[in-house]
């Protein structure tokens, strides 16, 4: 029996290629006769196209507009409302209208296209927008009764801004016309999303469209649905020109045109007893979908299901709305709605504690979900509910209570002695407790019906899945699961490219599902394969019986039930649990907030590869701190005004404090080796932890990012929470 | 019509072009001349003598990638803001997107492909694998080139010193803790 690889940090499958420069990303590839494409986009937020004029000699160019679309002019996803190329109506700045292509990139960039518009009045305020893409209601118990039982009611409104995924490799694809259809290579998370969108757009059958993921330089959700759009554009040009076409965005275009995290406005009204017990939670959440529906419905769904935070309460009412505005469509970003709603929940929780005069740890200990409790959707939690465990471990590890009191006392003395007011910095420590459901929401996994295959090879096995490696370690972690289940060394398992011509549809690489859901299907393939092998080695089996490929499909755990109409039931197979503590310092001259220490305890079922899991937690935490403190998308007249890295600031290594990570393991019975999802959860907690630390230091913020401007103003604000007995 | 006004890079390209800049009198916007000017260069890339005819508007980054097919050096922003395109010019680290190829006649250029010696990885490359100092890998060539240069730069011993010197290389995957650890271990070995 070879030594087990699960739980050990084996070498990444693609490690060497990435450090030697041999790994090939989309812009590193070329094809004979390749031409370059460019997207001509709207410059207005709302209106109609009147006419288009070309201020250049168009000979030698390939020009494509909506009339060149052989199938339906949509980016097929959920609502099918977004055109691949605008026909007449324009709903946002940077909406694609035309495509130009030429062999010479300089000529392409110099081409001058003039579009005249008839402008309409744009909508920018999501809370007053009359158009809703989706509304969701969750009701548990009787909210009126909950408020009657309350001694105190605490209210608050919380706001979160856009966030740009900012993968360092911009979006890009190459489309190659072949075999009467098209093959698209590209940087992407979900080859089968692209495959489906292309079939609809081009009116082609399954076998005439092939999608191949190339090495992908980060995604974070930003390459979940948007690649379907770019692939469509490149494919249209390739088919018209009958030449390979490269369409790679530059940084500015990527930031202006592609999806971002949904901004949100979330209102809480909470009933609580004097002893700290929650009696009623009433939440109203609005997320800004931008101009088209894209994934807003499902982002909202995950958002509202997580909106209470990991707390128990008998009476809950949640209302969620995703509305339309004339800004570029928002879409998937790691966390998918949960970072917004849990930001609100966790900042609100500190304000509840403050209103009651108890500390932030105590309020959470009283109300944290425990095994056997029911969530907002009525899901009964199993033994792998670890909210209290992560809370206690984090508090102990950070000496939280003592520091929290000490900083609070300092703040009080600062207020008394105005003369010391300006001296030095102010420090604070803050905490957040959060959870994250792994896999698609509700009946999503059943609908996806994902498949995975395993092919026997001479040395062991080859994995065939559509799950993509985007840096998180898919190939490595899947190979570990298969190696240990099959009983072969890790090195004897290899991983096929995510190529729709070769691998089955394992669903998208999103929603923290790649390990827990797809990994489990692979594990079942490997179990079957081991049985088929019996006492034979792979080589012996192949000699005697010929090729062996085993394919298995997702099986819903029999103890899961969900009703999409009432929003009741088991929203997720299971949840991960985590607690963050951030310590910050405010510079009293520049009002910059510097995180000086960060601790997080994550319960993730089982760390298949501890170093990869740590990497996910550290990276997600860094992005979460950026979301909290630095990253502000400035929208001016519907256009991102700071679409470059000099003024849209993401954390550098200097902005990222030492991150102390503890992983706890409380196995999920349906996960491979007990694993739950891990990719998204780390980004849910840093923002509320940092903002609660600011509260501890004397700054009352209800909105992120906590830019110097907001921090400066927030100190003067009187506490605004409504209190009545 | 482009939605991007003339940016800094465009500006460099235009002003560096040997031919005069044409001014569109109606809009008052300067536009790049359509005629290209090429220059012959002789330089050393990864230890080998290379002769190149470059368009005077072309950055070192594009010349490396498109003319020499050295795709290891990445373009993350093309504006000197991310560090993904870092290479060594005469032993110093340089953002190859911010310098024109034509300026490097006679120079000695090392890219990530040139770090390996006879199949043996550079200590920084080894350390990056050992410490899993990357995730998606797109910033990695730039991180490694910065780190390899750092080994020969004055840099204090602490992690914070390393952070300071590496702060021009963005990693959105947030592999920073492992990057710092990898560099510290490579420094110990070097
Ligand atoms: S590509 Fe040169 S710094 Fe970003
Ligand atoms: S490894 Fe992905 S950006 Fe650094």
Q: What is the CATH number of the domain that holds A547?
A: 3.30.365.10
Burial class from Cβ neighbours inside 10 Å (0-12, 13-18, 19+) for residue A626 reads buried
Share of chain A above pLDDT 90, in %: 95
Same domain for A341 and A409? Answer: yes
Same domain for A528 and A573? Answer: no
Which residues, in sequence order, are bridge partners of residue A659? A598
Instruction: Report the pLDDT value the prediction gives residue A417, as an integer from 0 to 100.
Output: 54
Q: Give contacts of A 242-281 with B, CB under 8 A.
A: 250-253, 256
pLDDT one-digit tens code per residue, A397-436: 999 999 999 999 888 776 655 444 455 579 999 999 999 9
Q: Does residue A138 form part of some domain?
A: no
CA angle at A602 for the pair A278 and A431, rounded to the nearest 5°? 50
Q: What distance in Å separates residue A208's CA from the closest CA in chain B? A: 30
**CB-CB under 8 Å, B144 with A653:** no
pLDDT (mean) for A174-180: 97
Question: What's the CA gap between A88 and A52, in Å, rounded?
Answer: 11
Distance (angstroms) between ligand 2 centre and the Cα of B134 equals 6
Which residues in chain A have their CB less than 8 angstroms from residue B181's CB? none
Question: Measured from the CB, is residue B139 less than 6 Å from ligand 2?
Answer: yes
Same domain for A634 and A661? Answer: yes
Same domain for A520 and A419? Answer: no
Q: What 3-state DSSP class applies to B136?
A: coil
Q: Tell me whether strands A89-90 and B38-45 are parallel, antiparallel or unpaired.
A: unpaired
Question: What's the CA gap between A440 and A226, in Å, rounded?
Answer: 19
Distance (angstroms) between ligand 2 centre and the Cα of A77 equals 28
The number of folded domains in chain A is 3
Instruction: Give backbone dihedrals phi and psi of A309, rounded to 5 degrees, phi first.
Output: 75, 180
Domain C-terminal end among A512, A530, A553: A553
Residue B8 predicted with pLDDT over 60? no
Which residue shows structure tokens 């079939």? A199
pLDDT (mean) for A454-461: 97
Q: Which of B1, B74, B169 sits opposite A112 (nearest CB)?
A: B1
Q: Give contacts of A 658-687 with B, CB under 8 A.
A: 658-659
Kindly list the distances between the CA atom of residue A378 and the CA atoms of A144, A303, A371, A443, in Å, as whole numbers in the listed order: 18, 16, 13, 15
Q: What distance in Å separates residue B42's CA from the closest CA in chain A? A: 24
What is the pTM assigned to this prediction?
A: 0.94
Q: Does residue A474 form part of some domain?
A: yes
Q: Does residue A153 form part of some domain?
A: no
pLDDT one-digit tens code per residue, A94-133: 999 999 999 999 999 999 999 999 999 999 999 999 999 9
Q: What long-range pairs does A585-588 form, CB within 8 A, spacing at least 24?
A: A585/A425, A585/A426, A585/A427, A586/A425, A586/A426, A586/A427, A586/A428, A586/A694, A586/A697, A586/A699, A586/A711, A587/A425, A588/A422, A588/A423, A588/A424, A588/A425, A588/A426
- Under 8 Å between Cβ of A204 and A236: no
Q: Does residue A160 form part of some domain?
A: no
Same domain for A242 and A373? Answer: no
Same domain for A235 and A282? Answer: no
Same domain for A217 and A296? Answer: no
Distance (angstroms) between ligand 2 centre and the Cα of B141 equals 10
Which residues, in sequence order, are bridge partners of residue A438? A574
Same domain for A285 and A363? Answer: yes
Domain C-terminal end among A214, A242, A257: A257
A395 half-sphere exposure, CB direction, 13 A CA radius = 17
DSSP letter, residue A68: G
Distance (angstroms) between ligand 2 centre and the Cα of B145 equals 14
Kindly list the distances between the CA atom of residue A491 and the CA atoms of A460, A479, B127, in Å, as whole numbers in the listed order: 9, 8, 21
Same domain for A108 and A244? Answer: yes
Confidence grade of residue B155 (pLDDT, cut at 50, 70, 90): very high
Same domain for A248 and A271? Answer: no
Domain C-terminal end among A522, A553, A584: A553
**CB-CB under 8 Å, A21 with B72:** yes
pLDDT (mean) for A229-247: 98
Q: Which domain, by its residues, includes A648?
A: 264-440+568-716
Residue A191 predicted with pLDDT over 70? yes
Which residue in A504, A536, A521, A505 sits closest to A573, CA to CA? A521
Which residue shows structure tokens 């070769």? A502
**DSSP states of A300-366 as a string?**
HHHHHHTTT-SB--S-EEEEEEEEE-SSPPP---TTTTHHHHHHHHHHHHHHHHHHHT--HHHHHHH
Which residue in A572, A525, A480 sits closest to A13, CA to CA? A480
Size of interface A-B (CB pairs under 8 A): 178
Instruction: Report the pLDDT value the prediction gives residue A447, as an integer from 0 to 100.
Output: 95
Residue in A closest to B120 by C-alpha: A20
**Structural element, H or E, at residue B10:** helix B8-16
Kindly list the distances between the CA atom of residue B95 and the CA atoms of A112, A647, B80, B87, B155, in Å, as whole numbers in the listed order: 30, 19, 6, 7, 20
Question: What's the CA gap between A161 and A705, in Å, rounded?
Answer: 7
For chain B, how many residues are written? 190
Mean pLDDT of all residues belonging to chain B: 87
Question: What's the CA gap between A23 and A216, in Å, rounded?
Answer: 10
- Residues whose CB falls within 8 Å of the CB of residue A156, separated by 6 or more in sequence, listed in order: A267, A268, A344, A347, A348, A351, A702, A720, A721
Instruction: Report the pLDDT value the prediction gives residue A712, as an integer from 0 to 100.
Output: 92
Distance (angstroms) between ligand 2 centre and the Cα of A470 equals 10
pLDDT one-digit tens code per residue, B71-99: 999 999 999 999 999 999 999 999 999 99
pLDDT one-digit tens code per residue, A494-532: 999 999 999 999 999 999 999 999 999 999 999 999 999
pLDDT (mean) for A275-302: 98
Question: What's the CA gap between A387 and A371, in Å, rounded?
Answer: 9
**Token pair of A438 as six digits:** 């792994």
Q: Does residue A561 form part of some domain?
A: no
**Token pair of A393 as six digits:** 């471990």
pLDDT one-digit tens code per residue, A252-274: 999 999 999 999 999 999 999 99
Confidence grade of residue A715 (pLDDT, cut at 50, 70, 90): confident
Q: Tell me whether strands A35-41 and A96-102 are parallel, antiparallel or unpaired.
A: antiparallel
b (16+ CB within 10 A) / e for A112-131:
ebebeeeeeebbeebeebee
Confidence grade of residue A153 (pLDDT, cut at 50, 70, 90): very high
Instruction: Give backbone dihedrals phi and psi of A20, rounded to 5 degrees, phi first.
Output: -100, -10
Rg (CA), chain A: 26
Residue A587 predicted with pLDDT over 90? yes
For chain A, how many residues are written? 725
pLDDT (mean) for A147-169: 98
Instruction: Report the pLDDT value the prediction gives residue B5, as an integer from 0 to 100.
Output: 44
Instruction: Report the pLDDT value the prediction gives residue B18, as an integer from 0 to 100.
Output: 36
pLDDT one-digit tens code per residue, B19-77: 333 434 444 444 454 568 999 999 999 999 999 999 999 999 999 999 999 999 999 99
Pocket test residue of B77, B93, B101, B170 for ligand 1, highest count of atoms within 8 A of CB: B77
Q: Is the dihedral of CA A22, A24, A27, A33 positive or negative?
A: positive
Same domain for A190 and A226? Answer: yes
Helices A400-416 and A387-398, packing angle to 10 deg: 60
**Token pair of A418 as six digits:** 């105005």
Same domain for A326 and A240? Answer: no
Q: Which of B135, B138, B163 sits opposite A472 (nearest CB)?
A: B135
Question: What's the CA gap between A527 and A66, in Å, rounded?
Answer: 49
Residue A619 predicted with pLDDT over 90? yes
Question: What's the CA gap between B69 and A709, in Å, rounded?
Answer: 47
**CB-CB under 8 Å, B132 with A611:** yes
Q: How far is CA A389 from the centre of its chain?
A: 25
pLDDT one-digit tens code per residue, A52-83: 999 999 999 999 999 999 999 999 999 999 99
**CB-CB under 8 Å, A618 with B174:** yes
Pocket test residue of B65, B79, B100, B101 for ligand 1, highest count of atoms within 8 A of CB: B79
Kindly list the distances between the CA atom of residue A715 and the CA atoms of A156, A420, A587, in Å, as whole numbers in the listed order: 17, 15, 13
Mean pLDDT of all residues belonging to chain A: 96
- Under 8 Å between Cβ of A516 and A478: no
Confidence grade of residue A724 (pLDDT, cut at 50, 70, 90): very low
**Token pair of A386 as six digits:** 């670890």
Q: Does residue A539 form part of some domain?
A: yes
Torsion of CA B182, B183, B186, B187, to 10 degrees: -150
Domains of chain B with bracketed CATH = 38-114 (3.10.20.30), 123-189 (1.10.150.120)
Q: What distance in Å separates residue A25's CA from the closest CA in chain B? A: 8
Instruction: Report the pLDDT value the prediction gives residue A586, as an integer from 0 to 100.
Output: 95
Question: What's the CA gap between A98 and A458, in Å, rounded?
Answer: 50
pLDDT (mean) for A684-707: 97
Q: Does residue A543 form part of some domain?
A: yes
Q: Tell me whether strands A181-186 and B48-55 are parallel, antiparallel or unpaired.
A: unpaired
Q: Does residue A8 form part of some domain?
A: no
């Amino acid at each position: 029996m070879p030594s087990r690889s699960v739980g050990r940090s084996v070498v990444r499958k693609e490690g060497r290629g990435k450090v030697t420069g041999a790994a090939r990303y989309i812009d590193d590839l070329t094809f004979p006769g390749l031409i370059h494409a460019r997207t001509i986009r709207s410059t207005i937020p709302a209106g109609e196209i009147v006419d288009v004029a070309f201020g250049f000699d168009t000979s030698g160019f390939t020009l494509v507009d909506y009339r060149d679309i052989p199938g339906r002019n949509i980016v097929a996803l959920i609502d099918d409302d977004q055109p691949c190329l605008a026909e007449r109506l324009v709903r946002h700045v940077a909406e694609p209208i035309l495509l130009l292509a030429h062999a010479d990139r300089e000529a392409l960039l110099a081409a001058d296209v003039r579009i005249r518009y008839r402008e309409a009045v744009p909508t920018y305020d999501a809370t007053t927008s009359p158009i809703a893409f989706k509304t969701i209601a969750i009701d548990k118990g009787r909210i009126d009764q909950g408020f009657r039982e309350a001694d105190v009611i605490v209210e608050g409104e919380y706001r979160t801004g856009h966030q740009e995924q900012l993968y360092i490799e911009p979006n890009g694809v190459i489309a190659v016309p072949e075999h009467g259809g098209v093959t698209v290579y590209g940087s992407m998370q979900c080859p089968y999303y692209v495959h489906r969108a292309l079939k609809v757009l081009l009116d082609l059958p399954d076998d005439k469209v092939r999608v191949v993921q190339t090495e992908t330089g980060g995604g974070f959700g930003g390459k979940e649905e948007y690649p379907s759009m770019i692939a469509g554009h490149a494919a249209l040009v390739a088919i018209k020109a009958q030449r390979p076409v490269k369409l790679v965005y530059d940084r500015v275009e990527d930031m202006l045109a592609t999806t971002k995290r949904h901004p949100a406005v979330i209102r809480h009204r909470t009933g609580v007893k004097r002893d700290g017990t929650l009696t009623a939670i009433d939440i109203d959440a609005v997320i800004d979908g931008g101009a088209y529906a894209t994934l807003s419905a499902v982002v909202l769904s995950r958002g509202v299901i997580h909106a209470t935070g990991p707390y128990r309460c008998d009476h809950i009412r949640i209302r969620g709305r995703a509305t339309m505005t004339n800004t570029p469509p928002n879409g998937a970003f790691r966390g998918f709605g949960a970072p917004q709603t849990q930001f609100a929940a966790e900042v609100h929780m500190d304000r509840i504690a403050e209103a009651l005069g108890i500390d932030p740890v105590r309020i959470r200990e009283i109300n944290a979900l425990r095994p056997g409790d029911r969530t907002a959707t009525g899901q009964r939690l199993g033994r792998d509910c670890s909210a209290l465990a992560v809370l206690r471990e984090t508090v102990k590890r950070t000496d939280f209570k003592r520091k929290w009191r000490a900083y609070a006392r300092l703040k009080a003395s600062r207020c008394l002695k105005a003369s010391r007011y300006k001296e030095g910095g102010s420090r604070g420590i803050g905490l957040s407790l959060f959870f994250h459901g792994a896999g698609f929401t509700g009946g999503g996994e059943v609908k996806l019906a994902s498949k995975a295959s395993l092919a026997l090879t001479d040395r062991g096995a080859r994995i065939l899945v559509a799950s993509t490696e985007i840096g998180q370690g898919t190939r490595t972690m899947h190979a570990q699961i298969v190696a240990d289940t099959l009983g072969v060394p890790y090195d004897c398992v290899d991983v096929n490219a995510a190529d729709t011509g070769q691998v089955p549809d394992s669903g998208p690489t999103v929603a923290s599902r790649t390990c827990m859901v797809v990994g489990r299907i692979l594990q079942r393939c490997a179990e079957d394969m081991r049985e088929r092998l019996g006492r034979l080695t792979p080589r012996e089996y192949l000699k005697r019986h010929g090729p062996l490929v085993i394919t298995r499909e997702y099986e819903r755990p029999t103890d899961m039930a969900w009703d999409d109409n009432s929003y009741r039931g088991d929203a997720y197979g299971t949840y991960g649990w985590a607690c963050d503590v951030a310590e910050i310092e405010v510079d009293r001259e520049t009002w910059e907030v510097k995180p000086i220490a960060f601790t997080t305890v994550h319960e993730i079922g089982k760390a298949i590869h501890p170093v990869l899991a740590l990497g996910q937690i550290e990276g997600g935490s860094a992005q979460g701190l950026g979301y909290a403190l630095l990253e502000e998308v400035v929208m001016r007249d519907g256009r991102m005004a700071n679409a470059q890295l000099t003024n849209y600031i993401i954390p550098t290594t200097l902005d990222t404090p030492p991150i102390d990570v503890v992983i706890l393991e409380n196995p999920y019975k349906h996960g491979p080796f007990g694993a739950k999802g891990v990719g998204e959860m780390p980004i849910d907690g840093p923002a509320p932890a940092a903002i609660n630390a600011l509260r501890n230091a004397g700054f009352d913020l209800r909105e992120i990012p906590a830019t110097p401007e907001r921090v400066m103003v927030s100190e003067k604000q009187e506490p605004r929470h409504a209190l009545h007995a | 019509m482009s939605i991007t006004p003339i940016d800094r890079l465009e500006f460099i390209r235009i002003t560096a072009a040997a031919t005069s800049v044409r001014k569109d009198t109606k809009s008052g916007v300067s536009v790049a001349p359509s005629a290209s000017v090429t220059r012959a260069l002789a330089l050393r890339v990864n230890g080998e003598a290379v002769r190149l005819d470059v368009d005077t508007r072309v950055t070192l980054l594009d010349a490396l990638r498109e003319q020499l097919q050295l795709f290891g050096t990445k373009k993350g922003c093309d504006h000197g803001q991310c560090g993904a395109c870092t290479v060594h010019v005469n032993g110093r680290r340089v953002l190859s997107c911010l310098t024109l190829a034509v300026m490097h006649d006679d120079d000695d250029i090392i890219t990530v492909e040139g770090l390996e010696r006879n199949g043996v990885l550079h200590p920084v490359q080894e350390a990056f694998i050992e410490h899993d100092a990357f995730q998606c890998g797109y910033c990695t060539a730039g991180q490694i080139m910065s780190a390899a240069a750092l080994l020969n730069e004055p840099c204090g011993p602490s992690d914070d010193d390393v952070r300071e010197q590496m702060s021009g290389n963005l990693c959105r995957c947030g592999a920073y803790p492992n990057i710092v650890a990898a560099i510290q271990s490579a420094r110990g070995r070097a």
